[in-house]
Chains A and B, each alone.
Chain A
Amino acid sequence: MKKLAISSVAIATLLAGSLYAGNGTLRILTWKGYTPKALVQAFEKKTGIKVKITYSNNEEMIAKLRATRGGGFDLAQPSQDRISSVQKKFKIYQAIDYSKIKTAQLIPSMLKAVKKNTLVDGKSYAVPFAYGTSGLIVNKKFASGAKDYTALFNPAYKGKISYRLKRPTLIAVAFALGYDPFAAYSNKAKYIKIMKAVEKKLIAEKPLVDNYWANGDSLLSMLRSGEVVVAMGWDGGGWKLHKENPNIDFVAPKSGALGWIDTFAIPAKSKNVKAAYQWINFIMNAKNAAYFTNKSGYGTASKGATKFLKKEIKGNFERSFSKADIDNINWYPPVPAGLESIEGKVLDHIRAAN
């Protein structure tokens, strides 16, 4: 009886193991659009490694890896500001061995910044992949005056406004209200005060919002159809729409676009670390990185990619960002532990308010 129980458990685990074994496969946990099909196919052909992709976002990546204590995936792509505090608390990543990365392919200043921001106990945990900003996506035909986040509270666009109920919105509104939330990261009491002010503002302006968008695709379709004319969103998405409809474009807000860098990080229980490094080196190759940028519109951390970029992609950046706008970008510093629960409560209050 006991034998049977043991053997059936053994069979079950064997079955599960063979289904999910990392042998010859690379399981990537990433964002939509970060693994273009053509590049995946080229990689599979070149290395014989099978690539399995799971789409996610920062919060879900952390939750998934936390649940498995860093297992289930061989490579993840969190934003650089969401790594160090998570790593300190949950130990879900393993340190990067930079000798295995072709660092000559990367923009040195960006590598340095990511290394510094993901430093935990003397070791760094990430390699830069892509960067971009959050700001406004505006349909200039109907909302030519939208220059800052405050346009999201302009009654003239009532019912045609959309933003995401996530932490970037809270940070952006805090900047628009004249606070500096990044400076308050280390001072919890002050941060709570700022978030309370943001909460009050967003609840007061709630009647103007059409809806809170939940994923990038749904936002783009609302802007495309004209249901929304002012939204907070990512630059890549805005530029994508500009190509289809010249009236729509990304606008860098006056109080500062929010700059993010997404990275590669290797989960603690990655079963195919070798393939993970291979993928990083492959995708950061100048030509491949340029292919990614040409397709998605997001900037790449690959050094040589600029010369392979399409003209319109370069044009996008110059059109939306003046010199002053670039200096104005607020780059996310690492998020210290404990802020998420403060923001979570604020977001709940806004969502439930009438």
Chain B
Amino acid sequence: MSKIKWGFYIFLIPVLLWLFLLIVFPHIDLFVNSFRSQNNLGDSIWSLANYKAFFSDSVYWYTFVRTAVYSILVTFLTFIVTFPVAFYITKVVSVKFSGFLALLLLMPFWVGELVSVYGWMILLRESGIINFFLLKMGIIDTPLKMLYNDISMIIGLVYMSMLFMIVPIMSSLEGMDDSLIEAASDLGASKFTIIRKIVIPHAAPGIVSGSIVVFMLVLGDYLTPDLLGGKNALWFTEQIYNEFIASFNWNEGAAFGFLLLALSTSIIWLALKITNQSFEKAVS
């Protein structure tokens, strides 16, 4: 009996250390810091000034809402792009090839986010590959400006999030019985009806968990908005970075961090309520 307990503790301790030293304590420290600020004499005092600053300056609000809206949009677009692919790989193509196709999906992730983003920059820039071919073929006379705007940023974000949407959808589609689709089409249901009434409800847990992961990743991304986004593309994470690094105001940065946490949590909670899904089902 006691032996089993020892083994249990030996494995538990690293987990607890990890959890408390690297996650819980830093969060508590940041949370405490977010309620401290400096008075006119330069002394550190308790105050709500950091949160007040967020609500009083419209710039912060604007970035906050912008980040949330774009994150939702990117999550939705990722779903639109990946759902047919997931369906194709799990249901249409033969089992022999589905493994290979899934592997192909993984490939961009072997080089990492930064390299992928630079790849997109090479493609899209004025002296880049797409412009080069368009000019050669005589379709355009002057290079198009495709980089550094909201669209290039969204392309990059969707590209980076695809895998995290496709894998959970595939795993939930795999559990679906094909005969359901056959039965429905035998009974005269249209393709649209089949997708709406049978496929989507079946894939729902996968879609929900994929959406949660993608939404969180996009909302917390820093690199892609910074490199591909245009001169107006200020992401809220960049604002947090600026508070910490450029302004030396760690307290304000901590407050912004917690506001972001509150934002993401409440949007996910709201989305689950609206779509009538449960969090437990999605993550299981």
A residues with a Cβ closer than 8 A to B are: 1, 4-5, 8-9, 12, 59-60, 62-63, 66, 159, 166-167, 206, 209-212, 214, 225-227, 337, 340-341, 343-345, 347-349, 351-354
Establish whether residues A212 and B246, one from each chain, have CB atoms under 8 Å apart when the complex forms: no
How many whole Å from A352's CB to the nearest CB in chain B? 5
Count class of interface residues, chain B: 20 to 34
Chain A residue contacts of B243, Cβ below 8 A: 344
Chain B residue contacts of A209, Cβ below 8 A: 231
Chain B residue contacts of A341, Cβ below 8 A: 247-249
B residues with a Cβ closer than 8 A to A are: 9-10, 13-14, 17, 42, 57, 59-60, 62-63, 125-127, 145, 148, 226-227, 230-232, 234, 238-239, 242-249
Whether A352 contacts B244 in the complex (CB less than 8 A), given A8-B14, A209-B231, comes out as no
Chain B residue contacts of A354, Cβ below 8 A: 232
Establish whether residues A340 and B126, one from each chain, have CB atoms under 8 Å apart when the complex forms: no
What residue of chain B has the Cβ atom nearest to residue A211's Cβ?
Answer: B148
In the complex, A25 Cα to B62 Cα: how many Å?
A: 47
Establish whether residues B17 and A8, one from each chain, have CB atoms under 8 Å apart when the complex forms: yes
In the complex, A59 Cα to B247 Cα: how many Å?
A: 9
- Counting residue pairs across A and B whose Cβ atoms lie within 8 Å, the total is 74
How many whole Å from B260's CB to the nearest CB in chain A? 16
How many whole Å from A241's CB to the nearest CB in chain B? 15
Establish whether residues A210 and B148, one from each chain, have CB atoms under 8 Å apart when the complex forms: yes
Chain A residue contacts of B62, Cβ below 8 A: 352
Establish whether residues A352 and B232, one from each chain, have CB atoms under 8 Å apart when the complex forms: yes
How many whole Å from A115's CB to the nearest CB in chain B? 25
In the complex, A4 Cα to B126 Cα: how many Å?
A: 61
In the complex, A353 Cα to B249 Cα: how many Å?
A: 22
* CB pairs A–B below 8 angstroms (11 shown): A4-B9, A8-B14, A9-B17, A159-B145, A209-B231, A210-B148, A212-B231, A341-B249, A344-B243, A348-B242, A351-B231
Establish whether residues A12 and B17, one from each chain, have CB atoms under 8 Å apart when the complex forms: yes
Establish whether residues A214 and B127, one from each chain, have CB atoms under 8 Å apart when the complex forms: no
In the complex, A261 Cα to B16 Cα: how many Å?
A: 47
Establish whether residues A225 and B126, one from each chain, have CB atoms under 8 Å apart when the complex forms: yes
